[in-house]
Amino acid sequence: MRAFNYSKTRAAGDAVMTVSGQPEAKFIAGGTTLVDLMRINVETPAQVVDINALPLKTIQALPGGGVRIGALARMSEVAEHPLIVQGFPAVSQALLLSASPQLRNKASIGGNLMQRTRCPYFRDTALPCNKREPGSGCSAIGGENRMLAILGTSENCIATNAGDMAVSMSALDAVVRIRGPKGDRTVNLVDFYVVPGSTPNIETVLQHGELILAIDLPAAPHAARSHYLKVRDRASYEFAVTSAAVGLDVQGSTIRSARVALGGVGTKPWRSKEAEAALVGRPATEATFVAAAQIALSGAKPRSQNAFKIPLAQRTLVKALRTLAGGGS
Amino acid sequence: MAKNVLSRLPEIQLPDGQLPEWEQPVVTEKSEPEPVVRPGSPDLSRRTFVAVSTALGAAMLLPAAPAQVTTDAPPELVSVALKVNGKTHALKLDPRTSLLDTLREHLGLTGTKKTCNQGACGACTVYVDGVRINACLALTVMHDGQSVTTIEGLAQGDALHPMQASFIVHDGFQCGYCTSGQIMSGVSVIKEGHAGSDAEIREWMSGNLCRCGCYVGILAAVKEVRDAGV
């Protein structure tokens, strides 16, 4: 691990000024991603700014039924918080299906949004990777790509976004609250992540020195009736091969509003507004769900080992929708 | 059984007094070791020396740093107060030091095991302020002033913690390397209220891998302690 200077800060503004003034500085919260990547020399900050003393831990109700989650709330706290369990079950489920209890006790919500890909070539400094070392090439496209992305890819990068929570929050219109050297701003989570294009090293719109303060979840009928389904190679403690976060508001037998996002298949949490449009106004039936699933994967570009993800993701989405539709009303 | 198998192997003939290759002492070129000052460390054990040498060796293999980086000199040591199993320690540490290495290399508490060192196996599970975490992904400097409980802090003197005793009764281990982490998590799973059903216990124990596959015994041990209500 490269040597770094460590400092602890007690005010968000100080943290932002410290990091924005040092190109090689990084914030650290839980550290479950950063320390891991520093140990294998994929992340090499010269300065690490500990933000755990900042007052960003609360989970509070917002007027109108939404919830604001402080960036330093731990995954385990959010997963079992009554406001999340009741108002945003897909978020709670996604968190409980993430990582392990020990990691969830340590990892923060803001850090979870910033977790890096698990692409094996990104983690191996002996091999080319455009995300880690721009211009060096992509080892994954012609390599071991079974777990890698089929949506949002480019000829430079097919690394999968590893998140579960971010998929559920992308489906449910989460808003990221950010503080930077030039002030505060908010970004919709679906716009927070960017596809790799020709710059796979850039994963979010967050500028250097900008700090996530909180995530807002707006209340909605399709949020209160939402579900997260994760398919993986072993029963627990594993990243998604495919996953689906869905929300449905069904009145009578007609779908009034729908939310769909896919995980394990995209270079970013993959919200499909096309699939949502194929659901709204239609009967909540198997045929509707299958049609929406086909639309959700229509832009998929598989590589040598991961074409199976297209039907698997479609079935994951159909099953998640069926689970919700079969759940009453 | 093992003796019988071995007895069938051909005898290896070596000249008198010569050891087979695998038992010959490793001779390396003698060089001046880096002066290592580790206040708080009771002695500079071989284990510590190997760990430090390996870290230095790895650092030398790093690609050349970008131009704006002027130095990768060892960072300043930082002061950390850590309460471990009820006893407070004043430490001076390289900020890179993980909680796991602090426990094992600086405090001699080797009950917590170092296995994957990347948060993938759970063998290093300890409690920080009562909550279980992976010690390998924790930088000790970030836990200044906090309380740590390790497997050594679970027993009351020579009296085993009920979970330790149950692991023995139910054969909850084979090689033993994951065991301290399993026991720490087993205690937590009950305390957290996640030990309702077999499926729930398995799910909430899933952060602790056992390469020997002793999950049946581990599950039985957790259930026994849960049912005893201790």
ipTM at complex level: 0.96
Residue A328's pLDDT is what? 40
Find the angle CA(A12)-CA(A23)-CA(A70) to the nearest 5 degrees.
25
Phi and psi torsions of A4, nearest 5°: -140, 155
The contacts of residue A56 (CB under 8 Å, 6+ apart) are A12, A70, A71, A72, A73, A110, A213, A214
- Is the model's pLDDT at B42 over the cut of 60? no
* pLDDT (0 to 100) of residue B229: 87
Is residue A102 within 8 angstroms of chain B, CB to CB? yes
Cα(first)–Cα(last) distance of chain A, in Å? 55
Q: Can you tell me the distance from the alpha carbon of A169 to that of A150, in angstroms, rounded to the nearest whole number? A: 21
pLDDT the model gives residue A146: 98
* From A5, A31, A99, residue closest to B75, measured CB to CB: A5
Ordered DSSP codes for A84-127: HHHH-HHHHHHHHTSS-HHHHHH-BHHHHHTPPP--TTTT-TTS
Instruction: State which amino acid sits at residue A106.
Output: K
Contact B188 A36 (CB under 8 A): no
CA-nearest residue of chain B to A51?
A: B142
Cross-chain residue pair B94–A3, CB shorter than 8 Å:
yes
Q: State the average pLDDT over residues B42-46.
A: 42
Among A100, A122, A208, pick the best mutation site for testing chain B contact (most B Cβ within 10 A). A100
Q: B69 CB near a chain A CB, below 8 Å?
A: yes
Q: Which pLDDT tens digit goes with each residue over B110-160?
A: 999 999 999 999 999 999 999 999 999 999 999 999 999 999 999 988 999
Among chain A residues, CA nearest to B182 = A102
Domains annotated for chain B, with CATH where assigned, are: 76-152 (3.10.20.30), 162-228 (1.10.150.120)
Average pLDDT over residues B69-98: 89
Nearest residue on chain B to A53, alpha-carbon basis:
B142
Confidence of residue B61 (pLDDT cuts 50, 70, 90): very low
Say which of B75, B202, B208 has its CB closest to residue A3.
B75
Q: Which of B62 and A178 is assigned the larger pLDDT?
A: A178
Interface A-B, measured as beta-carbon pairs within 8 A, has a size of 97
Q: Do A3 and B96 touch (CB under 8 A)?
A: yes
Domain range A223-325, CATH class: alpha beta
Mutate to test the interface with A, among B139, B188, B209 (most CBs of A within 10 A): B139
**Chain B touched by A1 (CB under 8 Å):** yes
Question: Is B126 in the A-facing interface, judged by CB distances under 8 Å?
Answer: no
pLDDT of B71: 54
**How far apart are alpha carbons B2 and A270 in whole angstroms?**
56
Whether residues B119 and A237 touch (CB distance < 8 A) is answered with no
- Burial, A135: exposed, middle or buried (Cβ in 10 Å; 0-12, 13-18, 19+)? exposed
Provide, as residue numbers in chain B, all residues whose Cβ is less than 8 Å from the Cβ of A23: 68
Q: Hey, is the C-beta of B67 within 8 angstroms of any chain A C-beta?
A: no
Facing residue for A35 by CB, picked from B68, B122, B139: B139
Q: Using a CB–CB cutoff of 8 Å, tell me whether B99 touches chain A.
A: no
Whether A144 has its CB under 8 Å from any CB of chain B: the answer is no
pLDDT of residue A327: 55
* Whole-angstrom distance, CA of residue B195 vs CA of residue B199: 9
User: Is B95 in contact with A50 (Cβ distance < 8 A)?
Assistant: no
The sign of the torsion formed by the CA atoms of B212, B217, B219, B221 equals negative
Predicted pLDDT at B60: 44
User: What is the per-residue pLDDT for B127?
Assistant: 98
Report, as an integer, the average pLDDT of B57-86. 68
- Measured between beta carbons, which residues in chain A are less than 8 angstroms from residue B74? 3
Is the pLDDT at B26 greater than 90? The verdict is no
Please judge whether B122 and A100 are an interchain contact, meaning their C-beta atoms are less than 8 angstroms apart. Answer: yes
Residues of A in contact with B78 (CB under 8 A): 6
Q: What's the whole-number mean pLDDT along residues B210-218?
A: 98
A235 shares contact with chain B (CB less than 8 Å): yes
Closest alpha carbon within chain A to B60: A2
**Structure tokens, A230:** 């994760």
Residue ranges in chain A modelled with pLDDT below 70 = 327-329
pLDDT, residue B18, reads 56
Strands of chain A, DSSP E: 5-8, 25-28, 47-50, 59-61, 67-70, 175-180, 183-188, 211-217, 226-231, 242-251, 254-263, 270-271
| B 186-225 residues inside an 8 A Cβ radius of A | 188-189, 192, 194, 202-204, 206-209
* pLDDT recorded at residue B64: 46
Average pLDDT value over all residues in chain B: 81
What type of residue is A68?
R
pLDDT, average across residues B184-197: 98
More confident residue, A197 or B73: A197
Model confidence at B39: pLDDT above 70: no
